Amino acid sequence: MGWRKTFRVLHRDIGYFIAALTLAYCISGIAVNHIEDWNPNYRFSQKEVDIGPLPGGTYLQMQQYVVSALNIDASMVKGHFMETETQFRVFLENTEEVIVDIRSGKGLYKQVENRALLYKINALHLNNIKGVWTWVADAFAVLLIFLTITGVFIMSGKKGLSGRGKWFLAAGFTVPLVFSWYIIA
């Protein structure tokens, strides 16, 4: 079997093998590229609450009342703060919080939820889990390099690198060169 045919077979089979991971990295890359516009990992929501007037007493007792009235796991509580004479704030894990008026008990419960799929694929893409995944990600990068190189040489003649392929390859190199020149300048 000739080297072009070998490249074609390997290119095809490796491409099938890494297709799902390539899609995950691409989706995550698009999401992370637009992090200034929206948070790809978390969804923030606010809901109005009305738990009735808070009982008198210490701030800790008011915190316990808020947590109990809203069925919040007490282990999530990080602290509390009397923001104004009437505004009481309870800080929770993951930047969640409850702000209530101590006289009326009306306020806001600010919550954070994971975007289930994006949170997980972003963790993979950004290598937040480290360990063995680092080796998997490195192997994936090596396979992408292999696919790139074999892809350049699969075709021959006027459709290959000696024909129109050289122009596409040059155009592809031009994009990162222009942007790197733009960044340096």
The full DSSP string for 10-40 is HHHHHHHHHHHHHHHHHHHHHHHHTTTTS-S
What is the percent of the chain where pLDDT is above 70? 99
pLDDT at 67: 96
Cα–Cα distance, 161 to 169 (Å, whole number): 8
pLDDT digits (tens, 9 = 90+) for 76-125: 999 999 999 999 999 999 889 999 999 999 999 999 999 989 999 999 99
- Residue 7, pLDDT > 80, answer yes
Percent of the chain with pLDDT over 90: 84
Residue 23's nearest CA partner among 131, 115, 125, 136 is 125
C-alpha span between 66 and 73 (Å, rounded)? 11
Average pLDDT of the residues of the chain: 93
Residue 185 has pLDDT above 70, yes or no: no
Q: Residue 46 pLDDT more than 70? A: yes
> Looking at the predicted structure, is the pLDDT value of residue 64 above 70?
yes
Go through 99-129 and write b for each residue having 16 or more CB atoms within 10 A of its CB, e for each that does not.
bbebeebebebbbbeebeebbbbbebbeeee
The answer to whether the beta carbons of residues 89 and 83 sit under 8 Å apart is yes
The whole-angstrom separation of Cα 8 and Cα 14 is 10
Q: For 135-148, how does the pLDDT look when each residue is reduced to its tens digit (9 = 90+)?
A: 999 999 999 999 99
Statement: residue 45 has pLDDT above 80: yes
CA distance 9 to 4: 9
